[in-house]
Amino acid sequence: MGRFRVRKAKMAETPTRYYCNYCQDELKSFSVRCCECTDFDLCLQCFSAGAELGSHKRDHDYQIIDNALLACGDKEWSMSEEYLLLDAIETFGFGNWADVASHIGSKSPTEAREHYDSNYICGNLGKAAVPEKPTFRVHDHTGPEDGPLSPTLVAKFTPVELTLIDQQELGYMPLRDDFEREYDNEAETLVSNLAITNEDDDLDIAIKLIHVDIYTRRLKERERRKKISREFGLITAALTSTANKAKEQKDQKGTQVQPQKRKPSKEETELREKMKVLAQFQSGKEQDEFFENLQKEKDIRARIKELIKYRRNGITKIEEVTEYEEAKGKRDRRKEGKKKIVRKSGVVSSKKTEPKEEPKKDDREIVEDEFQAIKSSPGFNFLSDREKRLCNSMKMKPARYITLKTVIIRDHLMRRQGLPCKTRYPSNLDKSHRKRITNYLTKSGWIKVS
């Protein structure tokens, strides 16, 4: 059998070659060696065909032999070692030869590096895969110059030099380039409650992506405004105008008069935020005058409303207002005292002894003031008094309440008709609010508990 195997080892640099005992083809990769016959090897094709020769039978025990493929000096590399080398470089990265050699197990770091350099970088494979002159170009995929990931947005800027007092007065942090109240400060509410779940269909995902796009556009507009304020010195200009106003307020003796600063109310702050859109069409002085006129208009409306209330109660002179307010205060205190006595004694007054007084016009105005937070919201006039109190207690907009009410009643009717339905509430809806609305509709007879 040994005559069918030819071994050529004339030089130490030339690797040993093996041939199949049946077809005489060179065994370049893996081969099958018979464990019962002496010096008998088969290629994979002859072994799969069940080749038999001489005393060798197809049912003999066998083992897989990995033949040498390449040579690096006097050390031969097998195919399995080649696979381990490429897998280690892909896993640990090029240059980590200690980890590569540990992954191979039978080679040193120097051998692994020299073999890879000579065959995969400087060899024919390296010359074909790595051209001498690169033909590719580096493209910037971060977006346009004004994009959300543009380098101009993350570029370093020179902070504005401000004292600590000036920073507190402006509400500005120069090292972070942030304001306490940014432009479009409520923009984050668009994406704060967004979450893509497995139940979302293509339309839901598209709507959520549109919200993200709107939020990105708002961020770009916010960054544009801050960039303009830095480049044109609007931050320091605001401090200069404030200092000039303080210098102008001096008395005849020459002593400076400290300007009286009044902390704006919550309503005034919200109004200023809404009217900031008009700032691009007005100067700073015109903007201040505009806010002052709006505040004057509000005060005049409140005063007119108060005078109308006095006129309805028969008061026609200013001197009578003091007597009316004193009498009203005594009457209110007397009612509070009676209520406290009733609570302590535990006695409930009957309708016969104390008839229920009809609310006067001024009392109705007090009731209307109770819904001042939602009175200007759309859909307020379509709610009943109980629904107004419900929305006011939950701090929910009337339009949102009407939408939830429609969804609950529609799903209830579909279930009554035996139609399948799956209620989809907004993701940011509080469970306690949903329960309160459902209980109210049940008690009011809109829906029935099944």
H/E run at residue 68: strand 68-72
Rounded Cα distance between 41 and 447, Å, is: 86
User: What is the reported pLDDT for 8?
Assistant: 36
- DSSP annotation of 95 reads T
One digit per residue, the tens of pLDDT, for the chain of length 450 reads 333 343 333 333 445 667 788 888 877 667 888 988 888 888 888 888 888 888 888 889 888 776 655 444 445 777 778 888 889 998 998 889 999 999 988 889 998 898 888 888 887 777 777 767 766 666 665 555 555 555 455 556 777 788 888 888 888 888 888 888 888 888 888 888 888 888 889 899 899 999 989 998 998 898 888 888 888 888 877 776 555 555 555 544 455 555 555 677 788 888 888 887 887 787 878 888 888 898 899 889 988 998 888 888 888 887 788 888 888 888 888 888 777 777 666 544 444 444 455 444 444 444 555 677 777 778 788 888 888 888 888 888 888 888 888 888 888 888 888 887 777 777 777 888 888 888 888 888 888 776
User: What is the reported pLDDT for 309?
Assistant: 85
> Residue 250's beta-bridge partner residues?
256
User: What is the reported pLDDT for 84?
Assistant: 87
Question: Given CA atoms 208, 214, 219, 222 in this order, what sign does their dihedral have?
Answer: negative
Best CA proximity match to 425, nearest among 440, 438, 413: 438
H/E run at residue 71: strand 68-72
Residue 54 three-state SS: coil
What letters, b where the CB count within 10 A reaches 16 and e where it falls short, cover 369-383?
eebeebeeeeebeeb
pTM above 0.85, yes or no: no
Q: Are 5 and 20 in contact (CB under 8 A)?
A: no
Best CA proximity match to 168, nearest among 183, 180, 158: 180
Query: Long-range contact list for 165-171, CB < 8 A, 24+ apart?
Result: 166/239, 169/239, 169/242, 170/235, 170/238, 170/239
User: What is the reported pLDDT for 414?
Assistant: 84
Q: Are 401 and 391 in contact (CB under 8 A)?
A: yes
Contact residues for 247 (Cβ-Cβ < 8 A; gap 6+): 256
